[in-house]
Amino acid sequence: MTACLPNSIEVKPVKIVWEQSIYFGNVPVFCSICGRESRPVRSGSNQLLLAVIYDDQGVICGEACSDCVSAGQQVIQSRLQDRIEILREKLADVEAIAQLMQNGIELPSLEQEFRVHRRDG
């Protein structure tokens, strides 16, 4: 006997939609796909647009840079995997530092701090 999924279950793709920027001016955002800084694109009607990423439920989950949007689905998937690997490596580095600091942290003395911030140095 095989189980059947109800007909009402529909898997929707993630959508990337160009929309008017909700930020004031030409404010940079970070691409949720590649992680690089991105600025809004100016449309022919002089509006600032951002590529907004929506999940399968229609909830905003980030912005994308124009390079990622124009790269296509396969390149986006590859960039996401590359970024995941980079973030895992960074996480491992931070976890290693946290492990080293479990035995305590020796901070600069108050006197050393004052010397760093004195103008006559």
DSSP string, 13-29: PPEEEEEE--SSSS--E
Instruction: Say whether pTM exceeds 0.95.
Output: no
Q: Is residue 27 part of a domain?
A: yes
Q: Is residue 111 part of a domain?
A: no
Rounded mean pLDDT of 22-36?
Answer: 91
Whether 119 maps to a domain, the answer reads no
* pLDDT score of 2 more than 70: no
User: Tens digits of per-residue pLDDT, 58-96?
Assistant: 999 999 999 999 999 999 999 999 999 999 999 999 999
**Residue 62 resides in a domain:** yes
The answer to whether residue 1 scores a pLDDT higher than 70 is no
Q: Is residue 1 part of a domain?
A: no
Do 63 and 52 touch, CB atoms closer than 8 A? yes
Q: Provide the number of structural domains found in the chain.
A: 1
Which of 13, 21, 27 minimizes the C-alpha distance to 48?
21
What is the rounded distance in angstroms from the CA atom of residue 75 to the CA atom of residue 79?
6
